Chain A
């Protein structure tokens, strides 16, 4: 068995006086995994992320990073290795130019100036915002700010990257661009956790899905397993991905053979249709 890169054990957390936001969360995350974290509003996703990054201190339970249990002394290591893109971009941006903002993390890592500049350029190019470099963040739009905050974390080159609803503010083109960036980051071997309400995105991108409901993990498995389980979907207020519905309908109406190769994108469906059209033996296909 592989050693998990991040191991969370029986985590409890409550905000100030209020109700508990996390009630015993345990999960093992392995190197290079692409995980979608799903669940309804207020189910505890953001809280879980902040705990995993060591920003919120759990009331109970422990977190280990690469086998080392995190305590006050090695908290810095955890933060260095786990980057988090916050849900609200305005809570993350602290500098007054985009360049200074993206350079903030690398500067805190005490990297030499040349390296910082290089990383800033690289991250801005990744997010397609190189020409915003000298602009002040307070004159950017919501989606542009979001892209800046994503570049922030890319520039830190942390092993594990957490995105809290990254696609929420983006237009379709930039959401697609972000997906391309995620693929690139995946090829670099990064471990990624993304919380999202976009089930279609979770279905096509993730290798593993974790479902939160009222501060607990109620399901953990491949997106296919989870989205086929109607009970879980109902409990977590989720809906089924369109591609899954389409595929099952095609199979049900005997239009494609049931190959268990579930398509997750229209492109995959097209390939499937080209190869697996269901022809009853006796009849001649009509075109």
Chain B
């Protein structure tokens, strides 16, 4: 909790003078997850310096980059994507490097665990360029296999960093706005909007309840903790039903008649950005063509 309130403070500063906010951030951020990573990502998106870019552009750009990265299937292209997405997020977006790495940690773990199976295999005979005898069989691999593994890792990593560039610079509400423009059914859009807002309400309620229980010795030993957890959980259910009711009331009071429409900020396309983006795509294609 302490950590998150410190960040809130920084957020205010970021808005006031976005140029030197960089220094404030750094000293208290390390790799790791202090509180719900979900809300941290949301938080970074609002604080990003490239939040002002047109969201449709950002979504289209990152999706195209992701597709190129997968379709071209070229390690150099993957590397270029990884580097340029990190550049966009960290340098252009002003996200501290530590925070960026900490967000990447989760997918990175999965990628490594997932690709190890491709690089390393198991056999009863000592085959392959390298093998390790385990008593009942051999763990073996070869340069070619390792190369394949690393290239796959880079490809997936590139694709993911393109997506992460988008999520770390575009608040969910804006992404939902883009989906709406892309004619995703209205019902889904409305649900997404409400669920998004609701997540924070329930998180808040949960945090408050947990903290207040904690301050009253609700987690002093294992048995009490279990009991408190049960109480908090059942209270959450009742509260979320009540909140839903209160919400509907408040929406009705402001003239809601079945159509949930929000005012969206129009962020103009910048031609220069589009040109850069096209240039980047062409560069990736060229890189692929040359090293094919």
Q: Which residues of A contact B (CB under 8 A)?
A: 50, 53, 55-56, 76, 79-80, 83-84, 86, 88, 90-97, 99-100, 102-109, 113, 116-117, 120, 131, 134-136, 138-139, 152-153, 156
Contacts and interface: CB of A to CB of B under 8 A. Distances in A.
Given A50-B249, A139-B8, A105 B254 contact: yes
Given A96-B193, A104-B262, A134-B265, A152 B254 contact: yes
B255 interface: yes
B191 to A, nearest CB: 13
B173 A108 contact: no
A93 B51 CA distance: 22
- Interface majority SS on B: helix, strand, loop or mixed? helix
B96 interface: no
Nearest to A138: B200
Interface of B: 8, 11, 15, 42-43, 46, 51, 171-173, 193-194, 196-197, 200-201, 204, 243, 246-247, 249-257, 259, 261-265
A107 B43 contact: no
A135 B43 CA distance: 10
Given A90-B201, A139-B46, A156-B255, A99 B250 contact: no
Contacts of B255: 76, 79-80, 105, 108-109, 156
B257 A99 contact: no
Contacts, number: 100
A105 B256 CA distance: 8
A56 B246 CA distance: 11
A105 B257 CA distance: 11
20 contacts: A79-B252, A79-B254, A83-B254, A91-B249, A94-B197, A94-B250, A95-B262, A95-B263, A96-B172, A97-B173, A100-B173, A100-B262, A100-B264, A105-B255, A108-B257, A116-B263, A117-B263, A134-B46, A136-B42, A156-B255
- Interface majority SS on A: helix, strand, loop or mixed? helix
A39 B80 CA distance: 68
B171 A96 contact: yes
A116 B264 CA distance: 11
A102 B259 CA distance: 16
A16 to B, nearest CB: 11
B252 A90 contact: no
A97 B15 CA distance: 15
A97 B172 CA distance: 10
A97 B265 contact: yes
A97 B171 CA distance: 10
A94 B247 contact: yes
Contacts of A107: 261-263
Contact of A156 (B193, B246, B254): B254
A153 B172 CA distance: 25
Contacts of B173: 95-97, 100, 136
Nearest to B4: A139
Query: Which 6 pairs from chain A and chain B are nearest by CB?
Result: A103-B263, A108-B255, A96-B173, A138-B200, A91-B246, A100-B262
A136 B46 contact: yes
A73 B190 CA distance: 26
Contacts of A134: 46, 51, 265
Nearest to A131: B15
Nearest to A136: B46
A156 to B, nearest CB: 7
A103 B15 contact: no
Contacts of A79: 252-255
Contacts of A86: 246, 250, 253
Contacts of A55: 249, 252-253
B263 A96 contact: no
A119 to B, nearest CB: 10
Contacts of B265: 97, 99, 134
Contacts of B257: 76, 108
Nearest to A104: B254
Contact of B15 (A84, A88, A135, A156): A135
